Amino acid sequence: MTSPSTRRLLKESTDLHKNPSPYFTASPTSDSNLHDWHFTLVGPPSPSPYAKGLYHGRITFPAAYPLRPPSFRFLTPSARFEVNREICLSISGHHEETWQPAWGVRTALLAIRSEIFSGESKGQVGGMEGSEVLRREYADLSRGWVCHECGGSNEERMREVWENCRMKGVEVDVEGEGEGGGSDDGDTNKNDNKTREENEARDKSQDHDIQDSPAIPTIPNPQLHSESRHEVEISSNSQYNTSDTSQPSESTQRSTTTTISTPPSSSMPSTSVLPNPSPAVQANTRPRSTTTSPANSPWLDRAIICVAFALVIMILRRTIDPDDL
């Protein structure tokens, strides 16, 4: 049967794995000993001299945890805490009266990052004084510091955490993330972002050019109007010619019908987008009006004359008496 302390530590370990933080990582050193953890902590943001630092340390949990607080010590040199010595914190075993059982590993590490690193030791147990230049130098060196028990440098461990955070949709905003041994990944991401920005800028410029370009007027095909005018002129000419050839003796005339049809086009001409044609082109596109006359008009005139002459002879025969001749 597991103790309450073991169940609590298992719960916290599972929570840190499912909900990672880009500012720290912490886990038990082995499955057989859940009361001994190692952590890697990202330094506070600028202008702190620890801004680019990655600090490795150890957490030791008592058997009565969470009723009693854990103890902390740093293994990475920082010029702020002594190496491998328990430090005095309000959340550590040096001040059990201020500890609350609701606190856990996440709360403690975030408190160390935001408050402890931002102040001075002032006689604190496990603390030390150092110049800002020395602390910045240690911060740069801390990225390549290697823990022999955990294996791998601080930066390698944190890069795995940052990648896991991105996969789970957690925003990663850490100073010095693209520096150090993993700069190739950072450069690749920067190049991808640069390429994406260039493509977006090019698309925006193309859209801007299309919007600024003057619209080309759409005019109807003049062939449509010319064909309609041509049909109207043919119809009027046919009526005019029919009226000219009519005579009083319509009963004896042979009616002639002249039909002129325009061959239909195979398909309706499509309306195309064309520039405004010049006056010369418009003049050439107008169809010439053609006046047609009946093909049998000379023969019709001759027939009318012959009929009239025959009528005159018949009238003369009836009016003149043969005896008078």
Token pair belonging to 165: 């955070």
Average pLDDT over residues 40-67: 94
Could you read off the pLDDT of 222-272 as tens digits, one per residue? 444 444 444 445 444 444 444 444 444 444 344 333 333 444 444 444 444
Average pLDDT over residues 97-124: 83
CATH code of the domain in which 165 resides = 3.10.110.10
Residue 225 lies in a domain: no
Residue 263 lies in a domain: no
CB 264 within 8 A of CB 231: no
Among candidate residues 32, 53, 33, 40, the one with its CA nearest the CA of residue 105: 40
Q: What is the pLDDT of residue 125?
A: 75
Residue 105 lies in a domain: yes
The pLDDT of residue 75 is above 90: yes
Parallel/antiparallel/unpaired status of strands 33-42 and 24-30? antiparallel
Residue 321's pLDDT band (cuts 50, 70, 90): low
Average pLDDT over residues 261-288: 46
Q: What is the pLDDT of residue 206?
A: 58
Residue 140 lies in a domain: yes
Range of 70's domain? 4-176
Residue 295 lies in a domain: no
The pLDDT of residue 34 is above 80: yes
Q: How far apart are CA 168 and CA 159, in angstroms?
A: 14
C-alpha radius of gyration, the chain, whole number: 53
User: Checking phi first, is residue 292 left (phi over 0); if not, alpha (psi -120 to 50) or beta?
Assistant: beta
Q: Quick check: is 306 catalytic? A: no
Residue 91's pLDDT band (cuts 50, 70, 90): confident
The pLDDT of residue 219 is above 60: no
DSSP, res 170:
-
Residue 303 lies in a domain: no
Residue 252 lies in a domain: no
Domain count, the chain: 1
Q: How far apart are CA 84 and CA 69, in angstroms?
A: 18
The pLDDT of residue 2 is above 60: yes
The pLDDT of residue 13 is above 60: yes
Residue 187 lies in a domain: no
Q: How far apart are CA 214 and CA 241, in angstroms?
A: 51
Residue that has been written with the tokens 């910045």 in this structure: 136
The percentage of residues in the chain with a pLDDT greater than 70, rounded to a whole number, is: 58
Average pLDDT over residues 76-80: 92
Q: How far apart are CA 134 and CA 273, in angstroms?
A: 75
Could you read off the pLDDT of 114-134 as tens digits, one per residue? 877 776 767 667 778 889 999
Q: How far apart are CA 256 and CA 185, in angstroms?
A: 95
Q: How far apart are CA 315 and CA 297, in angstroms?
A: 28
- What type of residue sits at position 155? E
Q: What is the pLDDT of residue 197?
A: 60
Q: What is the pLDDT of residue 322?
A: 58
Choose the catalytic residue: 88, 147, 165, 306.
88
The pLDDT of residue 68 is above 60: yes
